[in-house]
Amino acid sequence: MNITQPEIRTVNVIRYVTPLREGGSLPALVEADDEFLYVLKFRGAGQGAKALIAELIAGEIARTLGFKVPEIVFAQLDASFGRTEGDEEIQDLLRASEGLNLGLHYLSGSITFNALVNPVDAMLASQIVWFDSLVMNVDRTPRNTNMLIWHKELWLIDHGASFYFHHAWQDVEQQALRPFTHVKDHVLLPLATKLETVDTLFKSMLDAERIRSIVSLIPDEWLIEDSPFESLTEHRQAYRHFLETRISHTEVFIKEAQNARKALV
């Protein structure tokens, strides 16, 4: 199969609009030199570049699988950008985030998904549960769905808490074969009755070449930060190996999700 390399644009941040303090990573709404607004995820926030890597990989996997995900861009933050910021906490964050950050196109006018108000069919629910189980996304709970309704369509956002194992990088092989136990808290789990059908389709869409093309998008400067690996190549290979192994053994997280759903219903 001929895989088209995903394209990620790079923009320059020109204006800090407002902090979005509901996010654990202290994101902000910013304006870029392309005149669009973005939700900016800072590399200088608590979880550092790893949260940006998770956002990038999970977001582009979601896009590959056909989900609606805001455009992801690399956002360049100039060294002088934070000098006029009056809030000391924000100024410190800006200074710690000089260089390349990550932005998500701002969905102006969107509303937060509400499971009681916004209907989701069994197929879409199963697709989202499958995806979140693959990337180990712990942030799709009733309390914090990280889904938006925009122009009457469902959009997935905020995947920085995925791949939580990469904060320690202990035994990638074992991590790849672990059930996703947090699935029991997934907001759409009660509706996810078609996981096996979804599995056949999604596994065919995520072959090794596609995974390689997505992982290759990670900027070198993000991989250098707090890395336990001897080379950038080895670091990228670890992400590829995790994903390829997990995709080859999806029955592990499918069974976990099915058992968790039975316990609920």
The helix/strand/coil state of 29 is: strand
Each residue's pLDDT tens digit, 133-154: 999 999 999 999 999 999 999 9
Give helix 122-135 / helix 251-264 axis angle, nearest 10°: 120
Both tokens of 10, joined, read 């790079």
The DSSP bridge pattern shows strands 72-77 and 99-105 to be antiparallel
How high does pLDDT run on average in the chain?
Answer: 92
* Dihedral over alpha carbons 186, 189, 192, 193 (to 10 degrees): 150
Residue 138: left if φ>0, alpha if ψ -120 to 50, beta else—which one? alpha
CA distance to 22, 132, 225, 255, 261, per residue, from 195 (Å) = 32, 12, 37, 9, 11
Sheet order of strands, 153-156 included: 111-112, 147-150, 153-156
Alpha-carbon span 61 to 133, nearest angstrom:
12
Q: How confident is the model at residue 263 (pLDDT cuts 50, 70, 90)?
A: very high
pLDDT, residue 1, reads: 44
The structure's pTM equals 0.94
pLDDT, residue 85, reads: 64
Both tokens of 161, joined, read 């808490």
Each residue's pLDDT tens digit, 4-29: 667 899 999 999 998 886 655 689 99
